[in-house]
Amino acid sequence: MRKPILAGNWKMHKTVAEAVALVTDMRDALLAIPGVEKVFCPPFMAIPDVARLVQGTELGVGAQDLYWEESGAYTGEVSPGMVAEFCNYVIIGHSERREYFGETDETVNRKIKAALAHNLTPIVCVGESLELREAGRTESWVTDQVRAALDGLTAAQVAGLVIAYEPIWAIGTGRAATADEAERVCGAVVRATVASLYDQPTADAVRIQYGGSIKPSNTAELLAKPNIDGGLVGGASLQAADFIQIVQLTAKAKGLE
C-alpha cells in the first residue's frame, strides 16, 4: 500500500512568528496520527524555523519552488542545495507558478531533475484550467504535462515522486472536483500515463495527490478513492484544526486508524 501524504502549501502566508505558532499548535496532534506522511510547505523565510521545530520527528518540510542552477548570478532565486539544507520535499510546477511567473513544462522538468540530484522529493503539479475542462481537453492536457515533467527520468526516480493533480478551476475557489472525477483523472490519466511511459510497477509506486479546495468536508470521500494517495492542501492547511482533521480523516479513509 502506498503511504498517504498530505502537504500543506501555505503559499504567501504566515510570517516567521506566525509559522512557528501554527506548527507548534499542530505538531503534537499530527504526530499522534499514524501511517500518514505530513509535510509543511511554508514560505522560504520561515523554512529554517519550521525545520528546527520538527527536527527529529516524522514531520516533513518542503519548499514551494527552487531554481535549477547550483549557484550564480540569479538574483532572488533559491538553489536546490539551499533548499536541501532544510527540506525533504519541494513543490514544482504549481499552477500559480505557471500562470504568474512564467513556469513552463521545460522549466518544470529541469527543476525536477535538480531536486532529485539533491535527494529532494518533488511534488509535481499538473492540472487543467476551466476553459480546457469545458473544451473536453482535460485528459490530453494532463497527459502532456505528465509526459513533459517526467522526460529523461528513470523508472526508479519516477517511482519516488509525488504527483499532485490540481484542477486549476478548483484552486482557492471552493469548487472541488467530485471524488469520482478526481479519481478518474488521478487513475485513468495520471497513473495510466506513468504506466505507459514506464511500467505498471512504477505506476503503482508513484503517489498521486489531489489538490484544489480540499477541506475537512470533502476529505473522506476523496481519500477513500484507491488512486488518490493524499492531498496538496492550500487554505485549509493554514488553520491548525482543519489540517489536523484532514490528516485524521485521511488515516481513517485509508484504514490506518
Annotated catalytic residue within 96, 103, 128, 166: 166
Alpha-carbon torsion (8, 230, 90, 112), positive or negative: negative
> Per the structure block, which three cell numbers stand in for 106?
521545460
> Rounded to an integer, what distance in angstroms lies between the CA atom of residue 191 and that of residue 197?
10
94 given a catalytic annotation: yes
Which residues neighbour 38 within 8 Å (Cβ) at sequence distance 6 or greater? 5, 6, 7, 8, 30, 58, 59, 60, 247
Nearest one of 241, 221, 219 to 231, comparing CA atoms: 219
| DSSP state, residue 176 | P
Q: Which cell is 65 given?
A: 519552488
Q: Is 13 a known active-site residue?
A: no
Contact partners, residue 156, CB within 8 Å, separation at least 6: none
Written as nine digits, the cell of 252 is 481513517
- Enter the C-alpha cell of residue 182: 478526481
Q: Which of 94, 96, 128, 183 is catalytic?
A: 94
Catalytic residues: 94, 166
